[in-house]
Amino acid sequence: MDSAILFLLLFILILLVIIVLIYNSLISKKNQVKNAFSTIDVYLKQRYDLIPNIVEAVKEYMKHERHLLEKITQIRTTLTSGQVNEKERFKLEGEITNILGRIFAIAENYPVLKASENFLHLQKTLNDVEEKIAAARRFYNTSVTELNNAIEMFPSNIIAKLMKLKKTEWFEIPEPNRENVYLSELFKK
């Protein structure tokens, strides 16, 4: 009888340890997603700061592409106002990536602009920021996958349900313009 109680206690103890471990792992995964997102946010804000400088540097040359410059300025204003939800934000950020890609592709047609030191510096800084955004986005998506897997897989799904954890969206770049993501590719030409 005594040994039966001992086994039961031991079983409960092991179960408790497992629950605590799963709980902690879910919390750490959730926090990792949060941290990864805040890092993307830092780099995205660095990119917001670059946009006015880029627009200023190219506007004299790109009179026929004024609509692009207006659009990017408008998106930037919307994003910095902070009045968009996560899903919309990801979409708008993707658009910024694409428009910037197009601006730099068009700039290839203006040799004077291309040779300007200010423009070259902006281009390098933007390449750096884009690559950092891409890195942070990849880490964010990895973290989201790990969290979503934990939310769906047994037995962590039971605890996740009790914790009211919900699946998180990936930060994806819109499919049709994916080839423009890496601005650095332009240099290959």
* Cβ atoms 37, 138 nearer than 8 A: no
Q: Which is nearer to another protein, 78 or 142 (CB)?
A: 142
CB of 64 to another protein, least distance (A): 27
What phi and psi values does residue 43 have, to the nearest 5 degrees?
-70, -35
Nearer to another protein, 127 or 177 (CB): 127
* Packing angle of the helix pair 66-81, 2-58 (nearest 10 deg): 140
What is the phi/psi pair of residue 141, to 5°?
-65, -40
Q: How far is the CB of 164 from another protein (least distance, A)?
A: 27
Write down the least CB distance from residue 152 to another protein, Å.
18
Residues 6+ apart with CB under 8 A from 131: 182, 184
CB of 73 to another protein, least distance (A): 24
Rank residues 36 and 72 by Cβ distance to another protein and give the closer one: 36
In the complex, minimum distance from the CB of residue 63 to another protein, in angstroms, rounded to a whole number: 27
Other Cβ atoms less than 10 A from the Cβ of 23: the count is: 15
Q: Which residue has the tokens 């200010």?
A: 118
User: Residues 106-140, buried b or exposed e (16+ Cβ, 10 A)?
Assistant: bbeeeeebeebeebeebbebbbebbebbbebbebb
CA 127 to chain centre: 16
**Closest distance of CB 141 from another protein, Å:** 8
Q: Which residues of this chain interact with another protein, rule CB under 8 A? A: 36, 39, 123-125, 127-128, 131-132, 134-136, 138-139, 141-142, 182, 184, 187
